Amino acid sequence: MIEQKRMSTTSLEALFQRYKTAGWWILAPRAEGDITTFGEVDSPGDVAAGLIQTTLSPKSAVLPIWEELFRFRRGESGIEVVEAAESSVPTIIFGLRPCDARAFAALDAVFTWDSQDEPYLARRNKVAFVSIACNQADDYCFCTSTGGGPGDTAGSDLLLTGVGDEYLVEVVTERGVELAGIAGELFGPAEGMDKAAHLASVPVRFDLDRLRQVLPKTFDREELWIDQSLRCLGCGACAYVCPTCVCFDIQDEATRHGGARVRCWDSCGFSLFTLHTSGHNPREVQSHRWRQRVMHKFAYMPERLQVLGCVGCGRCSRACPVDMNLAEHLAVIAESGE
Amino acid sequence: MTGLQDAARDLLQSGEAAVVIGFGGGSAGGARPLMVRDPTSVGDLIFDDRCVHNLAVYLLKPEVKSLGKPAIVGTQAVLRSILQLASEQQVKDRDVIALIPEADGGVRRLETLGEIEGAVSKPDAVLSPEEQNCLDEIASLSREERWRFWQEEFSRCLKCYACRAACPMCYCSQCIVEVNQPQWIPVPAHPLGNMGWHLVRAMHLAGRCVNCGECARACPVDIPLNLLNQVIEKEVAEQFGGKAGLSATASYALSTFTTDDKDTFIR
Amino acid sequence: MAEFEPKVTAFVCTWCTYAGADLTGTSRIKYASNVRVLRVPCTGRIDFMYVLQAFTQGADGIIISGCHPADCHYTSGNYHARRRWIVLRALLDFVGVDTRRIHFAWVSAAEGAKWADLVNSVVSNVRELGPYDEYRQTIPAHIRPGGIAV
Ligand code: SF4
Ligand code: SF4
Ligand code: SF4
Ligand code: SF4
């Protein structure tokens, strides 16, 4: 049972101070020129206001765009390897949207399904989520088509919904109880607050069950995939803004003294992503790469990891230089018959 | 618009073109690139102020090339791109038909590179006054300020390479950033890797950029990286004369020289 | 703290400047030992990425030198190079790279004294500018020049 409380919006300042005193770092949407990303904030005044969705996702808090896995150097007795020092601090991601909060389940599934990815988990275990429900959406949002919604609590520790000049605070998890406890006196009883009336309406763009039925049977329908992907440029924009994309590339960066093994984001949309040393490329054309992107998120992940690889945040479609609208393409597939 | 649609239908029906590369309606009231292969779908073609993409990027994509001869809706940026690609031997005469929508709703059809050369407008200045102002503003900063400004801009770079993918002149099948023996440009999106990418991209486009702005438009984090190209194009024009994208036969500014090129900076 | 000793990387063509620097030695002209000479076939071979690499590997200043105009062993390599440098300088200056640290010269095989003067003046110039820390800050710790901190 999710406990509900109320909090005045003016108490945010005090809430932030309480969390900082308790040793939490706070990451929240920040404006950087015309774009918004998650960055460290001191007070609610630093948080970018009025946005529907940030340009970049909060994924980098647990999977940075590049990270050192370990360092190596020439020592007295040969090559010495030193594990990267664990440096993450307890972090609250504040003001992320319900779709983003749900995205971490997809990341978790990938980084724990066979081996436990230590660098990932070291950060992941120190992150808590204080999300804010959406009271507005745009043409690109399609959370409701992927099992989520503008007021969805899944994945959040606390979910705040703006109700007039107050927040309805939902305490979703054990960690949420802890987070609410740190600032107990800021909260009151939530009677009489109507959450539903303060949520954005996000139309369902496609029938997810139908899509999941049809999709696995479309693998060989070359014409469908060519039709959808002809304008795709094969860049990494969609993957790099996506909160659930996990592909990475391993690089060794070194001088003759030593260096580091580094993990960097990568994208299945790149033509070189699957290129073999032999010169053979199993996904030789963009249609196969686009198919992979769609299949991975909506067929392979649910099948193998029991979680959808997309939360409908719409970032990929906002960022795409040629307006490849994912929801639109999924609707076409779902309605295309088997 | 109907003129454009009629022309497209004619080309597809007669088999003169296998695909029409144009614009269609897109998300949130915008426009998007649209490839029409079926004459019954030409009704989806639009042309208005929203149609800004440099469609010429598709001319060299293997997936589009494999369809057969293209016709392309020719904005000025597209025409300049075709000429530049031709001067680099990437497009041959009569490889592509350009369709130029006219103000009165009609369409001009350009079959040859010569006709395209005739249709491309030849401005006196390399940059528009606004572009020039923007460069002047940055140039008026101190060197340290310029460094900080660009480091700040580069720091947002994701290395998604949308700028590269969207540029008609970035057609190398193996980009220098993917050369790894040795690895000239660091792969990670750290400050060194990002600066390396931006400098190498700008240098490899020197004298070739047609100033369409597509790279900056494509960038998901709003880096004004086309300014780097503009600064170079201006230098090229001032020092060596000429401008990319105006002629199908011009030789590349950096593969030629004159014996009296400026050398005041050389001891 | 010990006095700052600038590191200067010189990219020189084998036919003119390298031979010129050789002559400096055989003529027993003394000059600053801060320069590391890297020999390439021709100035036309000096990709601008060499400049970036040199800074990345710890250079505080760079010399690029080859045959005088009209003297290129390959006829026109230096002319082509000169065009590239013109463009490169405009770009680097625009992004705020300290172009005072990058020096271009023509030094022929007969100009042993010019080579010594060039190196001396560049070294003293760079000594005044100090270490190129601004650039070095862009380099991640694991590949920063001077060994790596583990
Ligand atoms: S695929 Fe697109 S809509 Fe889905 S989670 Fe990723 S960025 Fe969001
Ligand atoms: S869908 Fe768009 S963002 Fe993604 S690879 Fe294709 S062009 Fe790039
Ligand atoms: S403006 Fe950008 S996209 Fe257009 S030609 Fe120049 S570099 Fe390429
Ligand atoms: S499009 Fe922007 S973020 Fe992506 S690589 Fe280019 S400059 Fe960087």
Q: How far is the CA of B220 from the centre of ligand 4 (A)?
A: 7
C50: containing domain: 8-138
Check pocket membership of B108 for ligand 4, CB cut-off 6 A: no
C137 has a chain B CB within 8 A of its CB? yes
The reported pLDDT for the residue numbered C150 is 44
d(CA A7, CA A13): 12
Residues B10-38 have a mean pLDDT of: 97
Q: Is C150 inside any structural domain?
A: no
pTM of the predicted protein model: 0.95
> How does pLDDT run across C47-77, given as a tens digit for each residue?
999 999 999 999 999 999 999 998 888 989 8
d(CA A38, CA A59): 9
Cα–Cα distances in Å, from A151 out to A139, A155, A169, A197, B34? 17, 12, 11, 11, 36
Confidence of residue A338 (pLDDT cuts 50, 70, 90): low
The reported pLDDT for the residue numbered B242 is 85
Contact list in B for residue C113 (CB cut-off 8 A) is: none
Question: Is C91–B228 a contact, with Cβ atoms under 8 angstroms apart?
Answer: yes
Domains: count for chain C: 1
d(CA C16, nearest CA chain B) in Å = 14
The reported pLDDT for the residue numbered C3 is 83
DSSP character for B120? S
Could you tell me if residue C70 is left (phi over 0), alpha (psi between -120 and 50 degrees) or otherwise beta?
left
- Could you give the 3-state DSSP secondary structure of residue B247? coil
Q: Is C149 inside any structural domain?
A: no
Q: Is C3 inside any structural domain?
A: no
The reported pLDDT for the residue numbered C53 is 95
d(CA C99, CA C120): 18
The reported pLDDT for the residue numbered B127 is 87
The reported pLDDT for the residue numbered B39 is 97
CATH number at residue C13: 3.40.50
C85 has a chain B CB within 8 A of its CB? yes
- The domain spans of chain B are 2-119, 129-266
Percent of chain C whose predicted confidence (pLDDT) is above 70 = 96
Confidence of residue C147 (pLDDT cuts 50, 70, 90): low
Residues A231-241 have a mean pLDDT of: 97
Residues A270-285 have a mean pLDDT of: 94
Q: Is C31 inside any structural domain?
A: yes
ipTM: 0.95
> How does pLDDT run across A78-119, given as a tens digit for each residue?
999 988 777 789 999 999 999 999 999 999 999 999 999 999
Q: How far is the CA of B163 from the centre of ligand 4 (A)?
A: 6
Question: Is C142–A80 a contact, with Cβ atoms under 8 angstroms apart?
Answer: no
Q: Who wins on pLDDT, B98 or B257?
A: B98
SS percent in chain B: helix, strand, coil, step 5? 45, 10, 45
Q: Is C113 inside any structural domain?
A: yes
Smallest Cβ–Cβ distance between B147 and the set C49, C88, C96 belongs to C96
Ligand nearest to the CA of A58: 1
Residue A64 pLDDT > 50: yes
Check pocket membership of A269 for ligand 2, CB cut-off 6 A: yes
Check pocket membership of A232 for ligand 2, CB cut-off 6 A: yes
Q: Is C147 inside any structural domain?
A: no
- Among A106-120, A147-161, B151-165, B253-267, name the one with the lowest average pLDDT: B253-267
Residues A279-308 have a mean pLDDT of: 97
